[in-house]
């Protein structure tokens, strides 16, 4: 079975390759008659232009990369959903890369993408403080990047985030309103932009009420987090309120309470940033700050696509804030 490419079509129609090419791209300098003959044969033979030849020639790939820490996480899943939606609409392809929170992998991926495989990048960082030299190289190579959720301060570009600070404040205020006297904040990683903003919202609220703050440093290891939280609850001055910076820490908190026979919300009230679809069904249902993950993905993709294509808009430093919603449920009483 011969491959069907422009040459093949040209030969069968006794035309030149360039005429066929132009006919298929509906060029104004080709007669209608010829166009229709070409299109008919192309259809008949099911001609599909070779994307790699096209990319090589045009120096663009109609492909973007999405680099995220993990995918088994409702926030990122939903964000990808939004991204893919916009991409499919615009005729772009989406490559997925997972860093597993590992800086080295992140760096290797970025380095690899310097070769022009993608026209642009959407990224949520593994950590913020990672050496960002590789990101500067992207600028040099003119590969646009848009950050979402976990952003990188040092790079001037569009960043799509939620109102982390305000939401952190609101969540803390809610715990105080519910009568909490001692509120702990569970930090997932002080290197992350989101964690920093959320903790600052928390601290501002705590201090506005002349209360004592307590920031507990957790990590990405579930078992370790569980033991950290159990230790926290075992201390003499056990907190009566917990603010989890990310949903996995809320789940560990639930697990810790289960093991220690602490009752939520009677003994401890819990609020968490989370996009879990099961938040309302947990035991007890979890009060969440729910981020508009799908919307964030869409916004980020839309911004990126604005910087691609025929008349690209340069990506200037800009923060697009899509606000979160505090959803009250039983875990805070």
Partner DNA sequence: TTGTACGCGTTATCAG
Partner DNA sequence: CTGATAACGCGTACAA
- Contact call for residues 65 and 113 (beta carbons, < 8 A): yes
Minimal distance in Å, beta carbon 308 to DNA? 15
* Binders of its own copies in range 232-261 (CB under 8 A): 251, 254-255
114: partner contacted, choices DNA, its own copies, none (Cβ within 5-8 A by kind): its own copies
| Residues near 170 by beta carbon (within 8 Å), at least 6 away in sequence | 201, 289, 326
Minimal distance in Å, beta carbon 265 to its own copies? 13
Q: Give the residue, chosen from 26, 46, 57, 310, that forms a contact with DNA under the rule CB under 7 A.
A: 57
Q: Give the residue, chosen from 13, 34, 45, 70, that forms a contact with its own copies under the rule CB under 8 A.
A: 70
12: partner contacted, choices DNA, its own copies, none (Cβ within 5-8 A by kind): none
Cα separations in angstroms, 81 against 78, 86, 208, 210, 276:
5, 9, 39, 42, 15
266 lines the binding site for its own copies (CB under 8 A)? no
* Segment (H or E) for 183: strand 183-187
* Segment (H or E) for 102: none
- What b/e string do you get for 78-101 counting C-beta neighbours within 10 Å, with b at 16 or more? bbbebbbebbeeeebebeebbbeb
142 lines the binding site for DNA (CB under 7 A)? no
Take residue 32 and report the two structure tokens written for it.
Answer: 């209608």
* Binders of DNA in range 11-30 (CB under 7 A): 14-19, 21-22, 24-25, 27-30
* Segment (H or E) for 299: helix 293-306
Number of residues that bind DNA (CB under 7 A): 32
Kindly tell me which of 274 and 302 has the beta carbon lying closer to its own copies. 274
* Binders of its own copies in range 100-139 (CB under 8 A): 105, 112, 114-117, 137
If you compute the radius of gyration of the chain from its CA atoms, what whole number of angstroms results?
Answer: 26
283 lines the binding site for its own copies (CB under 8 A)? yes
* Segment (H or E) for 193: helix 193-208
CA distance linking residue 134 with residue 101, whole number of Å? 17
Q: Give the residue, chosen from 11, 40, 44, 56, that forms a contact with DNA under the rule CB under 7 A.
A: 56
Q: Give the residue, chosen from 25, 46, 236, 261, that forms a contact with its own copies under the rule CB under 8 A.
A: 46
Helix (H, G, I), strand (E, B) or coil at 303: helix
Minimal distance in Å, beta carbon 21 to its own copies? 15
80: partner contacted, choices its own copies, DNA, none (Cβ within 5-8 A by kind): its own copies
Residue 248 CA to its chain's centroid (Å): 16
| Residues near 250 by beta carbon (within 8 Å), at least 6 away in sequence | 242, 244, 270, 272, 274, 286
310 lines the binding site for DNA (CB under 7 A)? no
- Contact call for residues 156 and 313 (beta carbons, < 8 A): no
262 lines the binding site for its own copies (CB under 8 A)? no
Q: Give the residue, chosen from 43, 46, 59, 142, that forms a contact with DNA under the rule CB under 7 A.
A: 59
Per DSSP (E only), the strands in 7-47 are: none
DSSP 8-state assignment for residue 314: P
| Residue 183 CB-half CA count within 13 A | 32
311: partner contacted, choices its own copies, DNA, none (Cβ within 5-8 A by kind): none
* Binders of its own copies in range 158-217 (CB under 8 A): none
Q: Give the residue, chosen from 6, 30, 42, 78, that forms a contact with its own copies under the rule CB under 8 A.
A: 78
Minimal distance in Å, beta carbon 8 to DNA? 8
- Contact call for residues 123 and 106 (beta carbons, < 8 A): no
Contact residues for DNA, defined by CB under 7 A: 3, 5-7, 14-19, 21-22, 24-25, 27-34, 47-50, 53-54, 56-59
Contact residues for its own copies, defined by CB under 8 A: 1, 46, 48-53, 55-56, 61, 63, 70-74, 77-78, 80-81, 84-85, 88, 93-98, 105, 112, 114-117, 137, 140, 251, 254-255, 276-278, 281-285
């Amino acid at each position: 079975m011969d491959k069907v490419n422009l040459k093949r079509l040209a030969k069968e129609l006794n035309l030149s390759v360039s005429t066929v090419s132009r006919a298929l791209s509906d060029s104004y300098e080709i007669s209608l008659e010829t166009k229709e003959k070409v299109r008919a044969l192309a259809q008949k033979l099911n001609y599909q232009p070779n994307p790699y030849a096209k990319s090589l020639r045009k120096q663009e790939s109609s492909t973007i990369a999405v680099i995220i820490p993990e995918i088994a996480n409702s926030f990122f899943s939903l964000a990808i959903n939004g991204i893919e939606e916009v991409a499919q609409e615009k005729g772009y392809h989406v490559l997925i890369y997972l860093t597993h929170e590992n800086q080295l992998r992140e760096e290797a991926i970025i380095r690899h993408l310097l070769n022009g495989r993608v026209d642009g990048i959407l990224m949520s960082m593994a950590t913020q403080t990672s050496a960002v030299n590789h990101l500067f190289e992207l600028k040099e190579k003119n590969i646009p990047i848009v950050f979402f959720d976990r952003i990188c301060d040092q790079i001037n570009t569009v960043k799509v985030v939620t109102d982390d600070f305000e939401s952190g404040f609101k969540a803390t205020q809610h715990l105080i309103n519910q009568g909490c006297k001692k509120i702990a904040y569970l930090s997932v990683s002080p290197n992350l932009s989101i964690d920093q903003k959320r903790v600052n919202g928390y601290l501002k609220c705590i201090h506005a009420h002349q209360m004592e703050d307590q920031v507990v440093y957790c990590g990405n290891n579930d078992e370790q987090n569980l033991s950290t939280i159990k230790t926290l609850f075992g201390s003499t001055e056990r907190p009566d309120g917990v603010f989890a910076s990310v949903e996995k820490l809320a789940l560990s908190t639930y697990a810790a309470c289960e093991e220690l026979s602490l009752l939520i919300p009677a003994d401890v009230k819990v609020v968490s940033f989370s996009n879990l679809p099961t938040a309302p069904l947990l035991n007890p249902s979890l009060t969440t700050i729910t981020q508009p993950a799908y919307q964030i993905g869409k916004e980020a993709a839309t911004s990126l696509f604005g910087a691609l294509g025929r008349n690209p808009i340069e990506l200037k430093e800009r923060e697009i804030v899509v606000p979160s919603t505090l959803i009250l449920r039983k875990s805070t009483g």
